[in-house]
Amino acid sequence: MRLLTPDKSSLVEATGSAEPDLLDAVPTRGGPPAANRSLGRAWLAPRLLGALALLATGAVHLHEFERFYSQIPTIGTLFLLNFVGATAIGLCVLAPVEHIAGRCGSALLVLLAAAGIALAAVAFVFLLISEQTPLFGFKESGYDPTGIVAARAAEVATVVFLGAFLIGRLRLQAPMWRW
Protein backbone atom coordinates (compact mmCIF):
# COMPACT_ATOMS: atom_id res chain seq x y z
CA MET A 1 0.00 0.00 0.00
CA ARG A 2 1.26 3.46 -0.88
CA LEU A 3 1.02 6.13 1.78
CA LEU A 4 1.22 9.77 0.74
CA THR A 5 3.48 11.55 3.21
CA PRO A 6 4.94 15.07 3.02
CA ASP A 7 8.43 14.36 4.34
CA LYS A 8 10.92 11.52 4.67
CA SER A 9 10.63 11.19 8.46
CA SER A 10 6.97 10.33 8.22
CA LEU A 11 7.79 8.05 5.25
CA VAL A 12 10.20 6.13 7.50
CA GLU A 13 7.56 5.91 10.22
CA ALA A 14 4.87 4.76 7.80
CA THR A 15 6.85 2.20 5.78
CA GLY A 16 9.93 1.44 7.86
CA SER A 17 12.13 2.52 4.92
CA ALA A 18 13.46 5.88 3.68
CA GLU A 19 13.35 4.65 0.07
CA PRO A 20 10.50 5.99 -2.05
CA ASP A 21 7.93 3.53 -3.25
CA LEU A 22 8.17 2.31 -6.86
CA LEU A 23 4.75 3.79 -7.53
CA ASP A 24 6.07 7.29 -6.75
CA ALA A 25 7.68 7.27 -10.22
CA VAL A 26 4.38 6.54 -12.00
CA PRO A 27 2.92 9.70 -13.52
CA THR A 28 -0.58 10.62 -12.49
CA ARG A 29 -3.28 12.66 -14.17
CA GLY A 30 -3.19 15.24 -11.39
CA GLY A 31 -0.65 17.36 -13.27
CA PRO A 32 2.34 19.21 -11.86
CA PRO A 33 2.32 20.80 -8.43
CA ALA A 34 0.81 24.28 -8.18
CA ALA A 35 4.20 26.07 -8.18
CA ASN A 36 5.32 24.30 -11.36
CA ARG A 37 1.90 24.82 -12.94
CA SER A 38 2.12 28.62 -12.74
CA LEU A 39 5.73 28.55 -13.98
CA GLY A 40 4.65 26.30 -16.83
CA ARG A 41 1.93 28.75 -17.82
CA ALA A 42 4.48 31.57 -17.82
CA TRP A 43 6.34 29.77 -20.63
CA LEU A 44 3.23 29.93 -22.79
CA ALA A 45 3.74 33.70 -23.15
CA PRO A 46 6.93 33.53 -25.27
CA ARG A 47 5.38 30.75 -27.35
CA LEU A 48 2.22 32.77 -27.96
CA LEU A 49 4.05 36.06 -28.58
CA GLY A 50 6.56 34.35 -30.87
CA ALA A 51 3.79 32.76 -32.92
CA LEU A 52 1.95 36.08 -33.19
CA ALA A 53 5.16 37.86 -34.22
CA LEU A 54 5.73 35.20 -36.86
CA LEU A 55 2.19 35.70 -38.17
CA ALA A 56 2.88 39.44 -38.26
CA THR A 57 6.04 38.76 -40.29
CA GLY A 58 3.96 36.86 -42.81
CA ALA A 59 1.28 39.56 -42.89
CA VAL A 60 3.86 42.29 -43.55
CA HIS A 61 5.38 40.25 -46.38
CA LEU A 62 1.95 39.65 -47.93
CA HIS A 63 1.18 43.36 -47.72
CA GLU A 64 4.50 44.26 -49.32
CA PHE A 65 4.00 41.60 -52.00
CA GLU A 66 0.61 43.01 -52.95
CA ARG A 67 1.76 46.66 -52.95
CA PHE A 68 5.24 46.54 -54.45
CA TYR A 69 6.88 43.21 -55.13
CA SER A 70 4.36 41.06 -57.01
CA GLN A 71 5.82 42.02 -60.41
CA ILE A 72 9.47 41.42 -59.47
CA PRO A 73 10.28 37.87 -60.68
CA THR A 74 12.25 36.12 -57.90
CA ILE A 75 11.76 38.57 -55.04
CA GLY A 76 7.98 38.63 -55.44
CA THR A 77 7.84 34.85 -55.23
CA LEU A 78 10.04 34.89 -52.13
CA PHE A 79 7.73 37.42 -50.45
CA LEU A 80 4.74 35.19 -51.16
CA LEU A 81 6.58 32.08 -49.92
CA ASN A 82 7.58 33.96 -46.77
CA PHE A 83 3.91 34.71 -46.10
CA VAL A 84 2.88 31.08 -46.68
CA GLY A 85 5.70 29.68 -44.53
CA ALA A 86 5.25 32.17 -41.69
CA THR A 87 1.51 31.57 -41.62
CA ALA A 88 1.82 27.78 -41.62
CA ILE A 89 4.53 27.71 -38.95
CA GLY A 90 2.86 30.38 -36.82
CA LEU A 91 -0.49 28.56 -36.82
CA CYS A 92 1.21 25.27 -35.96
CA VAL A 93 3.08 26.86 -33.04
CA LEU A 94 -0.28 28.19 -31.79
CA ALA A 95 -1.94 24.79 -32.17
CA PRO A 96 -1.89 22.18 -29.38
CA VAL A 97 0.83 20.21 -31.17
CA GLU A 98 1.71 18.19 -28.06
CA HIS A 99 -1.79 16.72 -27.99
CA ILE A 100 -2.26 16.31 -31.73
CA ALA A 101 1.08 14.64 -32.49
CA GLY A 102 1.16 12.42 -29.38
CA ARG A 103 4.62 11.15 -28.46
CA CYS A 104 6.35 13.26 -31.09
CA GLY A 105 4.49 16.45 -30.15
CA SER A 106 7.18 17.93 -27.95
CA ALA A 107 9.91 17.36 -30.53
CA LEU A 108 7.66 18.70 -33.29
CA LEU A 109 7.00 21.87 -31.32
CA VAL A 110 10.75 22.43 -30.86
CA LEU A 111 11.28 21.95 -34.61
CA LEU A 112 8.45 24.35 -35.43
CA ALA A 113 9.88 27.02 -33.12
CA ALA A 114 13.33 26.55 -34.67
CA ALA A 115 11.81 26.81 -38.15
CA GLY A 116 10.08 30.04 -37.17
CA ILE A 117 13.34 31.48 -35.89
CA ALA A 118 15.13 30.42 -39.09
CA LEU A 119 12.44 31.93 -41.32
CA ALA A 120 12.52 35.27 -39.50
CA ALA A 121 16.32 35.40 -39.31
CA VAL A 122 16.74 34.60 -43.01
CA ALA A 123 14.17 37.27 -43.98
CA PHE A 124 16.00 39.81 -41.79
CA VAL A 125 19.39 38.97 -43.31
CA PHE A 126 18.02 39.03 -46.86
CA LEU A 127 16.60 42.49 -46.23
CA LEU A 128 19.96 43.72 -44.94
CA ILE A 129 21.74 42.24 -47.96
CA SER A 130 19.25 43.69 -50.46
CA GLU A 131 19.74 47.17 -49.00
CA GLN A 132 23.51 47.03 -49.65
CA THR A 133 23.95 44.89 -52.76
CA PRO A 134 21.65 43.30 -55.33
CA LEU A 135 20.01 40.08 -54.15
CA PHE A 136 18.68 37.87 -56.96
CA GLY A 137 19.07 40.85 -59.26
CA PHE A 138 17.15 43.22 -56.98
CA LYS A 139 18.38 46.01 -54.71
CA GLU A 140 16.00 47.44 -52.08
CA SER A 141 15.71 51.17 -52.60
CA GLY A 142 13.42 51.91 -49.66
CA TYR A 143 10.04 51.63 -51.38
CA ASP A 144 8.16 51.50 -48.12
CA PRO A 145 10.12 52.62 -45.06
CA THR A 146 7.22 51.83 -42.69
CA GLY A 147 6.95 48.34 -44.20
CA ILE A 148 10.67 47.78 -43.74
CA VAL A 149 10.48 48.90 -40.10
CA ALA A 150 7.44 46.67 -39.49
CA ALA A 151 9.17 43.68 -41.09
CA ARG A 152 12.31 44.20 -39.02
CA ALA A 153 10.35 44.60 -35.80
CA ALA A 154 8.27 41.48 -36.41
CA GLU A 155 11.31 39.42 -37.39
CA VAL A 156 13.33 40.51 -34.35
CA ALA A 157 10.34 39.85 -32.06
CA THR A 158 9.93 36.39 -33.57
CA VAL A 159 13.58 35.50 -32.93
CA VAL A 160 13.51 36.90 -29.39
CA PHE A 161 10.25 35.29 -28.25
CA LEU A 162 10.65 31.91 -29.93
CA GLY A 163 14.30 31.90 -28.85
CA ALA A 164 13.25 32.50 -25.24
CA PHE A 165 10.70 29.71 -25.57
CA LEU A 166 13.34 27.30 -26.90
CA ILE A 167 15.84 28.26 -24.21
CA GLY A 168 13.23 27.60 -21.54
CA ARG A 169 12.19 24.37 -23.20
CA LEU A 170 15.60 22.90 -23.96
CA ARG A 171 18.26 24.57 -21.85
CA LEU A 172 16.43 25.25 -18.62
CA GLN A 173 14.11 22.26 -19.01
CA ALA A 174 11.41 24.39 -17.46
CA PRO A 175 8.00 22.81 -16.99
CA MET A 176 5.81 23.73 -19.93
CA TRP A 177 2.06 24.05 -19.71
CA ARG A 178 0.37 22.41 -22.68
CA TRP A 179 -2.86 23.50 -24.27
Domain that holds residue 110: 39-171
Q: Which of 46, 52, 47 is nearest to 154 (CA)?
A: 52
Domain assignment present for residue 44? The answer is: yes
Domain assignment present for residue 80? The answer is: yes
Domain assignment present for residue 32? The answer is: no
pLDDT tens for residues 17-29?
Answer: 555 554 444 444 4
pLDDT tens for residues 81-133?
Answer: 999 999 999 999 999 988 888 888 888 999 999 999 999 999 999 988 888 88
Domain assignment present for residue 165? The answer is: yes
Q: Which of 85, 57, 82, 49 is nearest to 163 (CA)?
A: 49
| This prediction's pTM | 0.73
Domain assignment present for residue 176? The answer is: no
Q: What's the total number of domains in the chain?
A: 1
Q: Is the dihedral of CA 153, 155, 161, 163 positive or negative?
A: negative
Domain assignment present for residue 158? The answer is: yes
